[in-house]
Amino acid sequence: MNHRELHRPDPKLDLVLEREVDVPRELVWAAWTRPEHLRKWFVPRPWSITKCEVDLRPGGAFHFTMRSPEGQEFPNVGCYLEVVPNEKIAWTDALLPGYRPSEKPFFTAVILLEPRGKGTRYTAIAIHRDESGRKQHEAMGFHDGWGKCFDQLVEHMRTM
């Protein structure tokens, strides 16, 4: 399936991180789908992940709690939408597990993995409801934050 055709980013509403790395996409997939890996890279240090639960199927729960350097905890819950091994993972906070509409929708994440030689072309798209959502996410440091996290992912998976 052509995932890109369904997910053409709209520059007004969406934020995109694109990278090419020499890490095989099976490892990038594992990093995104296994809690023991997610804990190692999913928030920019010195933040950390104190809880991570993955029910990897459409409608399944993605729970993670982020801990600030000062020790404050921020629990999050999302719902997986699509799980295509080594190709695509999509989840949103607009739905709770089992697809229940949530109170405070902010964004949907679509992660696309494509082979590039023995490595991976990585595309992460953050999809917002409106322009103010995109701007808020940008002001929160999307590009630096998601970029730094991806560096952490690569560094961690190189140890595998």
Interface residues toward its own copies, by CB under 8 A: 1, 6-7, 13, 57-60, 81-82, 90, 92, 94-95, 97-103, 105-108, 110, 127-130, 133
DSSP state of 65: E
Q: By C-beta, is 34 or 129 nearer to its own copies?
A: 129
Signed CA dihedral, 92, 104, 12, 134: sign only? negative
CB 83 within 8 A of CB 57: yes
Residue 127's CB is within 10 A of a number of other CB atoms, namely 20
What minimum distance in Å lies between the beta carbon of 88 and its own copies? 10
Q: By C-beta, is 64 or 93 nearer to its own copies?
A: 93
Residues linked to residue 74 through DSSP beta bridges, in sequence order: 66
What is the C-alpha to C-alpha distance for residues 91 and 83, in angstroms, rounded to an integer?
A: 9
Structure token digits, residue 115: 């082979």
Peptide bond preceding 11 in cis form (omega within 30 of 0): no
Q: By C-beta, is 1 or 140 nearer to its own copies?
A: 1
What minimum distance in Å lies between the beta carbon of 39 and its own copies? 25
What minimum distance in Å lies between the beta carbon of 101 and its own copies? 4
Q: By C-beta, is 10 or 144 nearer to its own copies?
A: 10
What minimum distance in Å lies between the beta carbon of 118 and its own copies? 29
What is the C-alpha to C-alpha distance for residues 33 and 27, in angstroms, rounded to an integer?
A: 10
What minimum distance in Å lies between the beta carbon of 7 and its own copies? 6
Q: By C-beta, is 28 or 125 nearer to its own copies?
A: 125
